[in-house]
Structure 1
Amino acid sequence: METSFTSAVVILLLVTDPIGNIPLFVSLLRHVAPKRRVLVIVRECAIALAVLLICVPFGSSLLELFGLSERSLNLAGGVILFLIALRMIFHGPEGIFGETASGEPFIVPLAIPSIAGPAAIATVVLLVSRAPQRLPEWLLAVTV
């Protein structure tokens, strides 16, 4: 079955879960100054976009370089999500992901794994590996 551009965009929207990430962003940015929050959100979204855009042309090559299969990528992503879930359940007084020196999250956990998580990266790699001749289309789908 061939994936269309529209279905690729819908799949990426589902796996990045912009609506579901709102509570995480709100809770992690509660100590950040209101004016700075917008900059942090834009920065984290830009980092996530960059990660996904890098995975479009180089994702399959990176998997081959490390000797990984698509199945092992899916399994590793599941393990990472499981560990994050355990940390959410059994967190200490410093919070789920700990506090940074400035109290402002940087890359983890907002950009990666919340937006550009294992599911989003695996989706991008699978899209490209199934139809590498449509690379410009996949780049556009990730950007949308």
Structure 2
Amino acid sequence: MHPFIFKEIVSVTMILFAIIDILGAIPVIIQLRQRAGHIESEKASIVVLILMIVFLFVGDKLLDIIGLDVASFAIAGSLVIFIIAMEMILGIHLFKPDEEMSSTVSIVPLAFPLIAGAGTMTTLLSLKSQYQTQDILIGIVLNTMFVYLVLKNVQWLEKLFGKTGIDILRKAFGIILLAIAIKLFRSNTHL
């Protein structure tokens, strides 16, 4: 067992923080909460934590078993993000809320693919080749704790921004999310 390297922990934590971009996802989280009624922050955070840890250890093997490459996985994630972005920009609802939605929204699309999506998963695979596993695990735990804090305080954040502020943020972040989806799609297609 190698000793923990503080510099590596900080690097991994910052890289994952940038990829997860929970602050940038606040308008999406607010929109999902409004449509579903509430968000189960504990459930979403636990699912994010489990997804990232499992993918860190068996992600590449899992994709091999089901005959997928990382690029296909990333493209699928980009399409879901694209649809969410279009909903935000155009103010339309492609996914109609149903009675089941309030219990599942915390997992799909919130935990996956929004927080622990294709970008996060592919980043974990590349971090594995550069950093020690225990340092990556600490980075995952720290990011999950931050995700939980944001999800837990989303109502307070909603009050802080107000309806107009949220509408402006939703449109702006919708465009950013759209750009991320297109970049993820382009960087994983060889057209």
TM-score range, shorter chain: 0.7 to 0.9
Separation in 2, partners of 1:28, 1:70: 27
Corresponding residue for residue 139 of structure 1: 137
Corresponding residue for residue 18 of structure 2: 14
Corresponding residue for residue 24 of structure 1: 28
Number of residues paired by the alignment?
134
Aligned 8 A contact 2:19 2:120 in 1:
yes
> 3-state SS of the aligned residue for 1:81?
helix
1:47-85 CA distances to partner (integer Å, 9 max, x unpaired)? 111111111111122133234444554444444433443
Corresponding residue for residue 96 of structure 2: 98
Structure 1 residues 78 and 26 mapped into 2: Cα distance closer, same or farther (>3 Å)? closer
Corresponding residue for residue 45 of structure 2: 45
Separation in 2, partners of 1:111, 1:8: 20
What percentage of aligned pairs have identical amino acids?
A: 26
> 3-state SS of the aligned residue for 1:19?
coil
Separation in 2, partners of 1:111, 1:56: 16
> 3-state SS of the aligned residue for 2:40?
helix
> 3-state SS of the aligned residue for 1:108?
helix
Corresponding residue for residue 115 of structure 1: 115
Runs of 4+ more than 3 Å apart: 66-92
Aligned 8 A contact 1:44 1:107 in 2:
yes
> Shift in Å at residue 125 of structure 1?
1.6
Separation in 2, partners of 1:85, 1:31: 15
Structure 2: tracts of 5 or more residues without a match:
1-6, 143-191
Structure 1 residues 24 and 51 mapped into 2: Cα distance closer, same or farther (>3 Å)? same
